[in-house]
Structures are given as C-alpha cells and as structure tokens.
A = this chain, B = another copy of it.
C-alpha cells in the first residue's frame, strides 16, 4: 500500500498539455520557416511494440518510432489531420470546453479537414495522446459513459463558473457522476481509510444503502462495467494523492477479472499513455474460489468464457496471484457467478458477512 501523503493541490495539467501542443506546433513551424519538410516522430503503437513492463507494472510502448514527414505525399494527410486535432485540443483547453470523439469528428468537417470516417479522426486523437503522452481527457475529450462515486470526501471544483465551490460527496445519496467537473476537481478533505470499486450498479446501491461508506470509512466507486479511462484516473488519484488502499469487486468470471486487471495494470490499448493504472489496487473478488466457498448459484462456462480464460492465461498481467490461482480455479470449476448471487443469503449478506470476511482474508495475507 502507498503511504498516506498530505492532500495535494491539483497539478497544472492544462498548462503542461498546452506546452506540449505548442512545442509540437513550433517544431512543424520552424521546419517550414527553415524551408524543410516538417516531420514528427511518434512512438509506434503496433502490437510488436507494446510490452508489459514489470517494473512499472503496466503496458508501455517500446523504442520503435514511426516518422510522419511532409516529404512523403502519403504522410501529408495524417500529418495535416494530426495538426488539426492538436489545434482543436488547444482550443478546447483555452476555451475550457469539453468534447467527445464523435463531436471532434463532426467539428473537423466545418474546417473541411478531410476525415474519411470517425475511426480516422479517433486515430488522430490517439496519435495526439501518444505525442503528448497523456490521455485525451487531459485535453478535454471525454467519453459519454459516466461512472459515479460516493463517500467521505470533499472536493473543490475547477471548472468555469464553479471555481472554488466545494461538494461533500456524502450529500448526494444517489452518488455523484464522474464527469469532467469531478475528474478535474481537487481533493480537499477526507476521512476515508479505503476505496471500494464495484463493477455492478446493484452492488453499488447496496453498499450505499447498507452504509458501507460510514461503517467502513470507504469511498465507493461504481465503474458500470469496464471502467472508463477518466474513472481509472480518478481511482488512481484516490490511491496516490490520498494514499488510500483500493479494493475491486467484480463478477466471478473472466470478464469481471479483466475489469479488475485493467484498473490494476492498464490496458494494451492504452500502452501509449501513463498514469492511468493503479498498480497497488487489489482484486478482492468475486473469485472462482468464492463460488465454492460461498456455495453460490453459478452458471456453466460457455464457449466464449472458456476461450477467454485460455487467452488470459497467456497474458503477462496474470502471472501472479490472485490472478494465476483464480485462473486455475476457473479452469477446474468451469463455472461463473455474479456479485448479486450473494443475495441468496439476503440482500444485506454481501455487506454484513462477505465484505468483512474478505477484507480480513486480504489484510491477513
């Protein structure tokens, strides 16, 4: 577990990103002024250049780079697209507005920047991420999905019209959405001792209704399936800025296990950006072994599940426990169960029995 640090002020992400974009633009302009073809070197995101880094405990890009140069007529189009996207990003940051991938695509049409389809404009966004080394949320391009959070934490907003305004997250009984305003807020006060991340809305609601946040001094985050990147970054901040241990609860199936591992180790698709994952986060369950231990109603693995477990077995992120052990348990059991399955012992059981038993087990080892 990381040590508790004093609550930090939010870093000046906006300025850093703006400086990176300006630097990129200056490189292009200076080449043109010198009468040279502008070019840019971008870390390659091909599979062969994605490697799992055990020290950093996340996927990263290797040393290989591709060079986009205006000298090559085939490169002109992606280079122009990338430049436009950099301009769009800098406009978003300066005007303090947000956008989505879809919005960015349509906006380009107004500039007569020629994107064949959204896939092509998404690619330009990813290239920009690669150059800047940060996620698109840092240049204000957000996903539509929203996770939510509840618990003993007071935040201070930093979006236009709300600067300096505070919110005690326990005052919103349905939980607060992790949108652009939450993502960029400072953490100013907390009495939390830990963070519980849950995949399922039903379990999130259960935790709130059974007063888990006050009983366990816990901040509870609902990912709503695979955690959006803004949410992963938010969880990381809870861990690093507040020094809180993070426990992740998912369904006992290969998909739930993967939701947990992406939070812990990052995803291959995000190998070009850093500081999205939470290496110290702990996958707390449901494990395959919990299906047996708690006699949970379980479903037989289908072909997809079997294929997926075989795939994960080869993944470098799953070489240590609990991952390795539970993959082996899944293979023996050939069954899966949902978090809600604990409701067979009553709605409260997951909080009154399962949670304390699991935490005791995890902190013992």
Spell out A's residues near B (CB within 8 Å). 97-100, 102-103, 105-107, 109-110, 142, 144-146, 148, 157, 159-162, 165, 167, 171-182, 200-202, 205-206, 209, 211, 224, 297, 338, 340-347
Contacting residues, chain B, for A97 (C-beta < 8 A)? 209, 347
Tell me if B144 and A200 are in contact (CB < 8 A).
yes
In the complex, which of the residues B100, B142, B343 contacts A106, with contact meaning CB atoms closer than 8 Å? B343
CB distance from A259 to the nearest CB of B (A): 15
In the complex, which of the residues B106, B148, B175, B201 contacts A341, with contact meaning CB atoms closer than 8 Å? B106
Tell me if A102 and B340 are in contact (CB < 8 A).
yes
Known: A100-B202, A338-B102, A343-B103. A148 touches B171 (CB 8 A): no
Known: A106-B297, A340-B103. A173 touches B201 (CB 8 A): no
Contacting residues, chain B, for A102 (C-beta < 8 A)? 202, 338, 340
Q: How far is the CA of A179 from the CA of B222 in the complex (A)?
A: 13
Contacting residues, chain B, for A205 (C-beta < 8 A)? 98, 100, 142, 179-180
Contacting residues, chain B, for A98 (C-beta < 8 A)? 205, 209
Q: How far is the CA of A206 from the CA of B100 in the complex (A)?
A: 10
Q: How far is the CA of A202 from the CA of B142 in the complex (A)?
A: 9
Identical copies in the complex: 2
CB distance from A353 to the nearest CB of B (A): 13
Known: A100-B202, A103-B202, A144-B201. A110 touches B343 (CB 8 A): yes
Closest B residue, CB atoms, query A145: B201
Contacting residues, chain B, for A175 (C-beta < 8 A)? 177, 179
Tell me if A344 and B106 are in contact (CB < 8 A).
yes
Contacting residues, chain B, for A105 (C-beta < 8 A)? 340
Tell me if A343 and B181 are in contact (CB < 8 A).
no
Q: How far is the CA of A178 from the CA of B162 in the complex (A)?
A: 22
Tell me if B167 and A171 are in contact (CB < 8 A).
yes
Closest B residue, CB atoms, query A225: B144
Known: A107-B347, A201-B146, A341-B106. A181 touches B177 (CB 8 A): no
Contacting residues, chain B, for A157 (C-beta < 8 A)? 173
Tell me if A106 and B159 are in contact (CB < 8 A).
no
In the complex, which of the residues B160, B173, B200, B224 contacts A162, with contact meaning CB atoms closer than 8 Å? B173
Known: A161-B173, A172-B167, A297-B109. A347 touches B148 (CB 8 A): no
Known: A102-B338, A110-B345, A344-B107. A177 touches B148 (CB 8 A): yes
Tell me if A172 and B176 are in contact (CB < 8 A).
yes
